């Protein structure tokens, strides 16, 4: 980016700046007139200067053009003006003055508005440019920036720069024009007074900036200190649970306290300076009128200056200090902002950047070729080798296993080949072309990398998997009619140098990955899921998705049909007991208490439990049936049991999540609840918030699942009675929110699974889930809803960092991203994912089949899995040994030392 | 059947006798309590185990059919644990297990089993002791030709 702020601003907004400057130029005469009119009002109208020689009328607004001498003199009257008497003159001139005030105000408004727009536009451009710059960093540089600092720079620190941009050229011009007009006016009235004003103004202009130097230095320090504070807070938040767990909170707090203290000192010093300068500035501005009164008054008494002139000078002087002060402020701001800009730009100017976009068309790699590693090595910043020099050549296409423990040279080479790092020694040559020199865009076509770090963006599972395809700039179709708002947005984006391409458009690069359109993509997605063995999981996710109105044509019938098939199938196979169907007159033991109470689904996607807790009507039903207390009682028992059995296990523990009562509950909260209950005096009513939390806990209770033996027959009966009265008295306006279970109708808002089974799978029956899933699957595919289930599964919201996804699917995301685009070269770290696979060998075979005619580097720990892969590199720490078909024999022998000896014994591996 | 009775059952199993109360409760709560009527096959020979069963009530028979029609069986009493060995060494089930009587078993899915091993030291120790005991008896029977159980 441009290193000088002013050049940057001038380059990007020249046209607009000039327009505003012209507006200012036009405004100067009006400004001048507004100084002159008060003089005429006092001299001519009030003191009667225009009527001095017995005249009874004066002429106003006569427009006469005087020819200059060289054109022969003479004059041309354009408008002869009005003749008015003294009162008329006073009023006319007063209204004239009022009109000038309005006009000047109008100019000011126009200029300020334009300045604001200009600033905002530049701010938008600058943020976008900075962000774009960030995307040009080398991958390892991006990883090493602190997210909070960068966010604070892009968001907060450029803000004042942006608002200054509008002022950068306009403000000085505007203020100077104002100040010079005022000064020139004063000079014309009295050279003496003008000289005094000029001297004081000059003094201000010289002394104040000198004093402000220190202020600027402090300002810069403040900026750096606050940015570091933001970065530190970001770090601490990331490590929050660890810090808490280790009891280091006070230690960390003292660090923050120290930083806040340093920041305070800087700010305090800054304030002292600031107000001292302000005081001086004000003093100088106030002293000038003293001279005017004293000297100007003296002249007036002597008759060398008339009263009107003196009044006008004083009035004009009122207009002099503000522009001067603002000019000085502007100068200060300029320094301040220039420093800020340089600071920010320095952060965004790494020594090396990558080329982002390819200039021409992206040329695909020829089907055959070679990948040559030429003394590839890497050293960490302490000089320790991460990868010792490696020389080898692979033929493309081919399969290569990189075998070694996690964190060894295996991962380093993986990152190098996957272009996740560029700071390595030696060269990686793909058909003779250095990998490091390829543009980001081309590399994204050629290489697919799935490392051990799982980055999941907010959105659906589909959004995540398809992220690598979002590289085709959507075509903006001119034939489509564009509404005005959209057009405006488009133009505005272009003006600010932003991309006008809409985020919501279809960015998928179908051609680039060899597909013809959306249908092909859907097929490819399923193929990828099958390859990774995750189709079943995604299908299950789809079954958990909610059925949301409006359904496509005929879908409702097909769901009902599938439901009947499932029911028939279950009763035929004597499996009826597997599912406890929804029955209005029976308590469904395998559903939560909340679901039993509402006996239906919420259409708006809320949970029945939330509705019961928050809705006044629902609460009143619970109260009327005297359910709140027993529910709170159950909640209390749950809380104390959970606290007892999970005591001593770390926070957010997997075991706890497994038994969880919904995502909101954590052990700490349960502990607080249990504590509140223990301290609670039985005779007084419970604290309402505690009671609410306890009821919330109880509402999620499922007897056969949680097995705390808390639901007796009497309570079930009461729940049933509450269910009936809840349904009977449901107010009309709420009827739209709830859809009661009805065997003959689709339940909108309930999951696909509930809709199919119309009941709940019983807990405690061996293999119930699997058997029912098979039947449900068969029924769905018979009803032609198979693809819908996958679609729904892929549309599942993944939550923050993939919270809502099962671990296996979370680990799948990077692999699926690499596979979906079918690049020429794939680098896949299978370590974490393979552990979750029941059949890792099959996974590797399927990946091999999927990636035929491609080059695959598989990162593995277990050499047994790489048995069928012809070429291998085995890592021992940073040292790599190449083996394979083409490898020399002695190296293959050496390799034997690395692998467990195969003298008939099965190698035993320690599980870590 | 309530949680308390499950915990009682677990407590009577030598494997878990040493676990503290809250941990026993955790185990009972996390596991899935399943009922197999007499004669039901619980796990099949040659399958990859996906879970571990703790026999809370009843008896289980392990059997292997030889190709010549001979059959070798082995009886497991209440309190035995099935499936841990193949799961730990990543092998298939060596025998078919059938409910000899009506059986109540606590099912610990594969993932839960490893989570428990990873996170509950008492559980790991108890399982190691149990495994060691079985290994000792096995060695004893191989070396001294004595009958086990």
The CA distance from A884 to the nearest CA of chain B, in Å, is: 28
CB A696 within 8 A of CB A618: no
Average pLDDT over residues A103-130: 88
Give the Cα separation of A901 and A220 in Å (integer): 64
Average pLDDT over residues A177-202: 80
CB A596 within 8 A of CB A726: no
- To test the contact with chain B by mutation, choose from A658, A705, A838 the residue with the greatest count of B C-beta atoms within 10 A, namely A658
- Beta pairing partners, A401: A858, A872
- pLDDT exceeding 70 applies to what percent of chain B? 95
pLDDT at A102: 92
pLDDT at A768: 74
Q: Using the beta-carbon criterion (under 8 Å), do A838 and B48 form an inter-chain contact?
A: yes
Q: Using the beta-carbon criterion (under 8 Å), do A655 and B36 form an inter-chain contact?
A: no
Burial class (CB in 10 A: 0-12, 13-18, 19+), A209: middle
Mean pLDDT of chain A: 81
Mean pLDDT of chain B: 82
Q: Using the beta-carbon criterion (under 8 Å), do B119 and A649 form an inter-chain contact?
A: yes
Least CB–CB distance from B22: residue in A647, A653, A839: A647
Judged against a pLDDT cut of 80, whether residue A212 lies above it is answered with: no
pLDDT at A576: 67
Interval A253-270: pLDDT, tens: 888 898 899 999 998 988
Among A302-316, A424-438, A488-502, A819-833, the minimum mean pLDDT is found in A302-316
Nearest CA in chain A to B30: A659
Contact list in B for residue A838 (CB cut-off 8 A) is 48, 50
Least CB–CB distance from A766: residue in B28, B34, B89: B34
Give the Cα separation of A773 and A544 in Å (integer): 12
Give the Cα separation of A221 and A544 in Å (integer): 54
pLDDT at A857: 92
Highest mean predicted confidence (pLDDT) among A132-136, A309-313, B132-136: B132-136
pLDDT at A796: 85
pLDDT at A902: 41
Interval A68-89: pLDDT, tens: 667 666 677 777 777 778 788 8
CB A798 within 8 A of CB A740: no
Contacts of A245 (CB under 8 A, 6+ apart): A650, A651
pLDDT at B146: 55
Interval A331-358: pLDDT, tens: 878 887 887 888 788 878 777 777 777 7
pLDDT at A480: 62
Q: Using the beta-carbon criterion (under 8 Å), do B119 and A645 form an inter-chain contact?
A: no
Least CB–CB distance from B25: residue in A644, A655, A765: A644
Highest mean predicted confidence (pLDDT) among A218-227, A408-417, A665-674, A682-691: A408-417
Give the Cα separation of A736 and A604 in Å (integer): 9
Interval A852-871: pLDDT, tens: 888 999 998 888 888 888 88
Tell me if the bond preceding A759 is cis, omega within 30° of 0.
no
Average pLDDT over residues A90-99: 88
Nearest Cα residue to B78 out of B127, B27, B10, B20: B10
CA angle A640–A644–A649, rounded 5-degree value: 130
pLDDT at A106: 92
Average pLDDT over residues A684-706: 82
Q: Using the beta-carbon criterion (under 8 Å), do B3 and A644 form an inter-chain contact?
A: no
DSSP single-letter state for residue A264: H
B/e letters for A641-673, b = 16+ CB within 10 Å, e = fewer, are bbbebbeebeeeebbbeeeebeeebebeebbeb
Residue A104 CB-half CA count within 13 A: 17
The better pLDDT of the pair A577, A113 is held by A113
A892 confidence band (pLDDT: 50, 70, 90): very low
- To test the contact with chain B by mutation, choose from A647, A648, A654 the residue with the greatest count of B C-beta atoms within 10 A, namely A654
Average pLDDT over residues A124-142: 85
Average pLDDT over residues A639-643: 83
- Beta strand A425-430 pairing with A579-581: unpaired
Nearest CA in chain B to A763: B32
Among A294-308, A422-436, A467-481, A888-902, the minimum mean pLDDT is found in A888-902
Judged against a pLDDT cut of 50, whether residue A897 lies above it is answered with: no
Contact list in B for residue A574 (CB cut-off 8 A) is none
Interval A137-150: pLDDT, tens: 888 888 878 787 88
């Amino acid at each position: 980016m441009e290193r000088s702020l002013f050049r940057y601003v001038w380059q990007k907004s020249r046209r607009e700046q000039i327009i505003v400057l012209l507006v200012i130029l036009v405004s100067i005469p009006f400004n001048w007139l507004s100084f002159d009119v008060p003089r005429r009002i006092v001299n001519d109208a009030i003191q009667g200067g225009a009527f001095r020689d017995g005249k009874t009328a004066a002429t106003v607004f006569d427009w006469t053009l005087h020819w200059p001498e060289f054109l022969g003199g003479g004059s041309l009257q354009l408008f002869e003006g009005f003749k008015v008497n003294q009162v008329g003159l006073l009023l006319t001139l007063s209204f004239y003055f009022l009109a000038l005030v309005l006009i000047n105000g109008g100019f000011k408004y126009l200029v300020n508005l334009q300045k604001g727009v200009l600033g905002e536009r530049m701010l938008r451009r600058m943020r976008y440019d900075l962000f774009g710059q960030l995307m040009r960093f080398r991958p390892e540089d991006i990883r090493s920036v602190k997210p909070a600092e960068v966010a604070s720079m892009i968001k907060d620190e450029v803000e004042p720069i942006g608002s200054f941009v509008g002022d950068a050229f306009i403000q000085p011009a505007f203020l100077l024009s104002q100040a010079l007009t005022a000064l020139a006016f004063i000079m014309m009235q009295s050279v003496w007074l003008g000289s005094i004003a000029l001297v004081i103004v000059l003094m201000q202009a010289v002394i104040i900036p000198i004093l402000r130097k220190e202020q600027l230095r402090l300002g810069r320090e403040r900026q750096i200190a606050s940015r570091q504070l933001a970065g530190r807070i970001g770090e601490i938040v990331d490590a929050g649970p660890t810090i808490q767990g280790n009891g280091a909170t006070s230690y960390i707090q003292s660090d923050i306290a120290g930083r806040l203290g340093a920041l305070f000192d800087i700010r305090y010093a800054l304030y002292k300076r600031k107000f001292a300068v302000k005081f001086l500035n004000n003093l100088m501005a106030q002293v000038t009128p003293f001279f005017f009164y004293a000297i100007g008054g003296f002249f007036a008494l002597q008759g060398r200056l008339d009263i009107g002139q003196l009044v006008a000078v004083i009035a004009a002087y009122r207009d002099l200090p503000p522009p001067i002060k603002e000019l000085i402020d502007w100068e200060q701001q300029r320094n301040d902002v220039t420093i800020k800009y340089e600071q920010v730009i320095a952060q965004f100017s790494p020594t090396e950047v990558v080329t982002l976009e390819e200039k021409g068309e992206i040329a695909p790699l020829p089907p055959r070729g070679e990948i040559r590693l030429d003394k590839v090595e890497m050293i960490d910043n302490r000089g320790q080798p991460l990868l010792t020099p490696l020389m080898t050549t692979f033929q493309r296409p081919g399969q290569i296993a990189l075998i070694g423990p996690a964190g060894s040279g295996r991962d380093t080479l993986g990152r190098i080949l996957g272009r996740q790092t560029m700071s390595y020694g030696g060269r990686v040559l793909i058909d003779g072309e250095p990998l490091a020199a390829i543009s980001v865009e081309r590399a994204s076509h050629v290489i697919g990398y799935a490392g051990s770090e799982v980055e999941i963006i907010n959105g659906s599972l589909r959004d995540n998997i398809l992220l690598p395809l979002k590289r085709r700039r959507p075509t903006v179709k001119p034939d489509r009619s564009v509404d005005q708002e959209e057009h405006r947005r488009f133009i505005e984006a272009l003006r600010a140098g932003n991309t006008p391409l809409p985020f919501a458009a279809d960015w998928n690069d179908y051609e680039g990955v060899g597909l013809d359109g959306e249908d092909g993509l859907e097929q490819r997605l399923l193929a990828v899921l099958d390859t990774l063995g995750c189709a079943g999981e995604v299908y299950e996710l789809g079954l958990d998705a909610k059925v949301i109105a409006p359904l496509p044509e005929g879908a409702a019938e097909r769901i009902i049909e599938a439901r009947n098939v499932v029911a028939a199938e279950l009763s035929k196979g004597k499996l009826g007991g597997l599912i406890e169907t929804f029955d209005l007159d029976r308590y469904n033991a395998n559903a939560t208490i909340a679901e039993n109470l509402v006996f239906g689904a919420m259409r708006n996607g809320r949970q029945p439990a939330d509705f019961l807790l928050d809705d006044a009507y629902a609460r009143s039903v619970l109260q009327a049936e005297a359910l709140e207390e027993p529910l709170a009682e159950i909640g209390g028992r749950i809380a104390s049991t959970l606290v007892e059995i999970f005591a001593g296990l770390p926070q957010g523990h997997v075991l706890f999540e497994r038994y969880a009562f919904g995502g909101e509950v954590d052990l700490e909260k349960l502990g607080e609840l249990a504590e509140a209950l223990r301290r609670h005096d039985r005779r007084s009513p419970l604290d309402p918030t505690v009671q609410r939390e306890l009821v919330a806990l109880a509402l999620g209770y499922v007897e056969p699942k949680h097995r705390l033996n808390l639901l007796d027959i009497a309570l079930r009966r009461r729940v049933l009675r509450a269910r009936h009265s809840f349904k009977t008295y449901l107010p009309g306006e709420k009827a739209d929110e709830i859809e009661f279970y009805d065997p003959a109708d689709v339940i909108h808002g309930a999951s696909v699974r509930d809709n199919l089974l119309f009941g709940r799978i019983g807990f405690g029956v061996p293999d119930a889930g699997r058997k029912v899933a098979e039947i449900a699957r068969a029924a769905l595919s018979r009803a032609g809803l198979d693809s819908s289930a996958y679609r729904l599964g892929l549309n599942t919201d993944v939550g923050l960092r993939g919270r809502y996804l099962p671990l296996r699917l979370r680990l799948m995301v990077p692999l699926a991203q690499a596979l979906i685009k079918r690049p020429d070269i794939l680098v896949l770290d299978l370590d974490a994912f393979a552990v979750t696979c029941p059949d890792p060998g099959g996974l590797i075979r399927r990946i091999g089949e999927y990636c035929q005619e491609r080059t695959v580097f598989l990162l593995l720990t277990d050499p047994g899995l790489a048995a069928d892969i012809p070429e291998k590199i085995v890592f021992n720490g940073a040292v790599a040994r190449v083996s394979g078909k083409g490898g020399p024999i002695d190296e293959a022998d050496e390799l034997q030392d690395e692998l467990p000896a195969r003298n008939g014994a099965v190698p035993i591996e320690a599980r870590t | 059947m309530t949680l308390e009775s499950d915990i009682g059952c677990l407590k009577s199993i030598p494997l878990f006798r040493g676990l503290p109360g809250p941990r026993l409760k955790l185990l009972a709560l996390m596991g899935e309590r399943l009922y197999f009527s007499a004669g039901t096959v619980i796990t099949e020979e040659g399958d990859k185990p996906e879970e571990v069963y703790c026999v809370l009530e009843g008896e289980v028979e392990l059997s292997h059919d030889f190709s010549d029609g001979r059959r070798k069986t082995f009886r497991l009493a209440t309190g035995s644990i099935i499936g841990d060995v193949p799961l730990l060494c990543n092998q298939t089930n060596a025998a078919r297990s059938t409910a000899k009587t009506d059986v109540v078993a606590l099912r610990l899915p594969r993932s839960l089993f490893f989570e428990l091993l990873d996170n509950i030291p008492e559980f790991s120790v108890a399982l190691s002791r149990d495994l060691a005991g079985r290994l000792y008896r096995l060695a004893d029977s191989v070396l001294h030709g004595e009958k086990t159980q």
